[in-house]
Amino acid sequence: MTFSIPPDMQYSKSHEWVLVDSNTALIGITDFAQDELGDIVFIELPSIGEILTKDQIFGLVESIKAVSDLYAPLSGTILDINPTLETEPEQVNNDPYDSGWMLKIELKDLSEIKTLLTANEYGDQTS
């Protein structure tokens, strides 16, 4: 099985994707991660204004079989959360890189970006 790994995004080892746009970033979980979890039925996210610290838990994803923590790929302040996921968590299964986005943050430290994996590097990790 091959998973979608958009080349314009960057990735964490814990299977979050990041789409950087100057000093902000969108964050979600990868196609590989949603497939591993199976049917997602509940997503717990922090609130707008909360501060994320890189590599710390910021929420969780619950599927029928398991619950998994979400780890912040970068540090920053939450500007927006995807309101759809409260009622339609399955959007993360259906479309993990677009309608399944989770957070938008304002980056605290742009130098953290270079710690992320490229699409090729992430692809090597999941293949």
Partner 1 sequence: MPIRFGSIIEEHHCVRTSVGKFDVSHMGQIFLDGNDAEYLTNKLVSNNVTRLKDNQAQYAMITDHQGVILDDTLVYRNSSDSFMFIPNAGHDEEMFLRWTHFRDEWNLDVTIKNSTSEIAMFAIQGPIAVDSIEALSSDTLSDLKRFTTTVTTIAGITCTVSRTGYTGEDGFELLLSSSDAVTLWKSLNFPSCGLGSRDTLRTEMGFLLSGQDFNHQTNPRNPFEAGVDFTVDLNQDFIGRDALLGLNPEELAFNFIGFSLPGRSIPRPGSAISNEAGEQIGLVTSGTLSPTLNIPIGLGYVPPSYSSIGDPLQISIRNSLKPAMICSTPFINL
Gap between the Cα atoms of 65 and 118, Å rounded: 30
Residue list 20-49, contact with partner 1 (CB under 8 A): 38-39, 41-42
Residue selected from 64, 111, 114, 127 as contacting partner 1 according to rule CB under 8 A: 64
Shortest distance (Å) from residue 96 CB to partner 1: 15
Tell me which stretch binds partner 1 (CB under 8 A): 7-15, 62-70, 106-114, 115-123: 62-70
Shortest distance (Å) from residue 42 CB to partner 1: 4
Nearer to partner 1 by C-beta: 86 or 106?
Answer: 86
Gap between the Cα atoms of 27 and 49, Å rounded: 15
Nearer to partner 1 by C-beta: 86 or 124?
Answer: 86
Nearer to partner 1 by C-beta: 22 or 64?
Answer: 64
Nearer to partner 1 by C-beta: 42 or 109?
Answer: 42
Q: What is the 3-state secondary structure (H, E, C) of the chain?
A: CCCCCCCCCEECCCCEEEEEECCEEEEEECHHHHHHHCCEEEEECCCCCCEECCCCEEEEEEECCCEEEEECCCCEEEEEECHHHHCCCCHHHHCCCCCCCCEEEEECCHHHHHHCECHHHHHHHHC
Kindly list the residues in this chain that would bind partner 1 in the complex (CB under 8 A).
38-39, 41-42, 60, 62, 64-65, 67, 93
